[in-house]
A and B are shown apart, each in its own frame.
Chain A
Amino acid sequence: MPMLDIKNLTLEIDTPMGWVSALDKVSLSIDTSEIRALVGESGSGKSLIVKSIVGAIPERWRVTADRMNWKGNDLLGMSGNQRRAITRNEISVILQNASAALDPSATLREQIEESIPSYRLTKGWFWQRRQQRLDIAIQELHRVGIRDHNLCLSSYAHQLPEDICQKFSIAMALVSKPKLLIADNPTVGMETTTKVQILKLLTKLNKTQGLSVLFVSHDLLAIAAMANTMTVLYCGQTVESGSIEQVKRRPLHPYTKALLDSAPSFRRDLPPKSPLSCLDGTIPTLQHLPIGCRLGPRCPRAQRECVKMPATRHIHGHSYACHFPLHRDKP
């Protein structure tokens, strides 16, 4: 049984034009000690999925799902307290835009210390606990590669550069020793060596402590290097998911293919100076969503049937939602 199991998650948000479903029947599952990548272009709703999982969305938005289970317990049905207990002890999340997710009027020390779960504090007296909290915080900061812990802990979020804030958020997410880490673009904008450090750390935690990761990113190379499985999202719909090798070798959905082709460094066979490929047009806005398969207007293979939402089909753990998948129609 997967640890996190989401089936047909639909998120409706109210815009000035009325209610629109920003996420439409999204399915996603994460097994124990699996690294799953979630990819899709900007505005496809990756962050919305992350926020729906941890409940960080405005109360008036409507979330419905056939299943949204954490270790067999329904996340949507449980009380706020139960849900917070899970996010405190078992799931950690790094929201996109790390510095905005930090309280501007509290020092980073206060913020990381309040994330330390009480079971990590073994000492009895409060001054001993105080010291222990500080020690844990420092240790955690060193792990993500923040050397100058004193400066970092005594600063406010706005005083530090964005990449330190990102690393700090990662440290803060890891301090509670979660089972699942949800990281929304954790390495965006970092320079390569720092990025590799972070990716290495996550991989190591995955290998040694069985940490599962939901890794949201635009960085296909990083994903190919560390993830086991990947889910491709387009405009609030899951279009394809499967193991990295399967998806990379034989993308079934036209969007996945376009996405993979659009990353030149990802294609070994690309001759120098050949034209780069990409899909025409841009992702539709929430106000102008096409009916049926949302890729329709941009899809090179679209036909009349595509105005109906294609059902998700599974072959060997590889699933896709398309009426006319690639590779399949050849005899």
Chain B
Amino acid sequence: MLIAIARRLNLLIITLFILCLASYVLAFLFPGDALTNLSGIPALSADQSHQLQLMYALNEGWFSGFWTYLKLTLNGDWGVSLNSQTPIFEDILKLLPASLELSLYAMVISLVVGLPLGVLAGLKHRSYTDMSILSVSLTGFSFPVFWLSLLLILIFSLQLGYLPMSGRISLLFDIPHSTGFILVDILRSEMPVKDAALFDALRHLVLPTLSLSIVTTALVIRLIRRSVVTVYASDFIKAAYTKGLSHSQVFWRHGMKNALLPIMPQLAMQFTVLLTNAMIVEVIFSWPGIGEWLIQAIYQRDFPAIRGGMLAVSAVVVTFTISVELLVRILYPLNKRQFYAQT
């Protein structure tokens, strides 16, 4: 067990290291001056440029250059954005929670809806219930996210006018920034109109979350259904029935555990799919998250920002994936051979 944990931690550190290396190399591959790409400060005078060179240790060979970069990165000095000249790291810290919040709620909804439906379909394999759940999920699965978002805006914001079409919260409310998760921030703030603000934030959340979660829900349903069908066809479920256990006893004691645990990593993987989709949705709904920011940066060829954004997003994804895998490894007592065969 300790070895497994050590291996995963090792993997995590090495992957993050490689990500840093890649982001460093990118600064040299991007068009323009490497120094500008690293720092985000367009070199004005020879003196300033010299100072930056010293800071990034560029003339001491690539190794110590990278070493200095690594130290700076770990210290949170990611340079400044070319366009706004604000520190990138702080921007990311401010924006990333908004994206995480959106993806998190979408994930929760996908699981809350997808889990019971998937289990139901799996238990009623090949029945009409199964067929209808499967076809609905196939339909949901086939929607392109951007099209779905636009459609939802068209119907609920423009036609019916029920829900707002962009932003996180109405500009009337001034929410102090503390955690970056807007619902948490509202609850922690001492505003007189807390309820109204909360309601407004929720209304803003509905459409982006919905358009994000439909695709993931479909995926979750299919994953769980397949797993339940496989487990219920296996010998040990049959054996549990021959012991005289009732349907619910078999379901809770033997069925669910074996159906869900092996697909936990795959389920968690959906979160990274969500994060990617969230970028698209953020642009459409002008959601002030990392995705929208990154895409703006790409439009404006803001290379330091692109570098930082990619580093941040990939670091989140990698860390998340590896921690889930570790968690499953601790919970699920399979032998090594089976475990590696499965993943």
Contacts and interface: CB of A to CB of B under 8 A. Distances in A.
B196 interface: no
B334 A103 contact: no
A56 B238 contact: yes
Contacts of B334: 104-105, 158
Nearest to A88: B244
B244 A84 contact: yes
Contact of B233 (A58, A115, A159): A58
Contact of A105 (B239, B243, B332): B332
Interface string A139-153: 000000000000000
Given A84-B241, A87-B242, A158 B335 contact: yes
A106 interface: yes
Contact of B257 (A84, A105, A172): A105
Interface in A86-114: 87-89, 91-93, 95, 97, 100-106, 110, 114
A106 B235 CA distance: 14
Nearest to A90: B244
A60 interface: yes
A156 B242 CA distance: 20
Nearest to B238: A56
B245 A114 contact: yes
Interface residues of A, number: 33
Interface string B224-237: 00000000011110
B217 to A, nearest CB: 26
Contacts of A93: 239, 242
Contacts of B245: 84, 88, 114
Nearest to A97: B235
A201 interface: no
Nearest to A58: B233
Contacts of B240: 103
B253 interface: yes
A54 interface: yes
Contact of A56 (B241, B244, B257, B338): B241
Contact of A54 (B242, B249, B258): B242
B260 to A, nearest CB: 10
Interface string B303-343: 00000000000000000000000000000111100100000
Chain B's interface size range is 20 to 34
Contact of A55 (B234, B241, B261, B332): B241
Contacts of B257: 105-106
B126 A60 contact: yes
Interface in B243-291: 243-246, 249, 253-254, 257-258, 261
In this complex, which of B236, B332, B335 has the most chain A Cβ atoms within 10 angstroms of its Cβ?
A: B236
Given A103-B258, A104-B236, A114-B253, A85 B335 contact: no
Contacts of A172: 243
Nearest to A158: B335
A140 B40 CA distance: 74
Interface string A106-136: 1000100011000000000000000000000
Contacts of B243: 87-88, 114-115, 172, 176
A7 interface: no
Contact of B258 (A60, A91, A105): A105
Nearest to B256: A105
A212 B78 CA distance: 78
A114 B242 CA distance: 12
A177 to B, nearest CB: 13
B264 to A, nearest CB: 12
Nearest to B260: A105
A57 B235 CA distance: 10
A51 interface: yes
A102 B258 contact: no
Contacts of A105: 257-258, 261, 332-334
Given A87-B243, A105-B333, A114-B253, A95 B258 contact: no
A156 B236 CA distance: 13
A246 B253 CA distance: 47
Contact of B235 (A55, A85, A100, A159): A100
Interface in B2-42: none
A172 B239 CA distance: 11
Contacts of B234: 100
Contacts of A55: 241-242
Contacts of B338: 158
Given A84-B246, A97-B235, A103 B241 contact: no
Residue from A91, A92, A105 with most neighbouring chain B CB atoms (10 Å): A105
A49 to B, nearest CB: 14
A297 B158 CA distance: 76
Given A56-B238, A105-B333, 7 more contacts: A57-B238, A85-B244, A87-B242, A95-B239, A105-B258, A106-B254, A114-B253
> Across chains A and B, which 3 residue pairs bring their CB atoms closest together, nearest first?
A88-B244, A56-B238, A101-B239
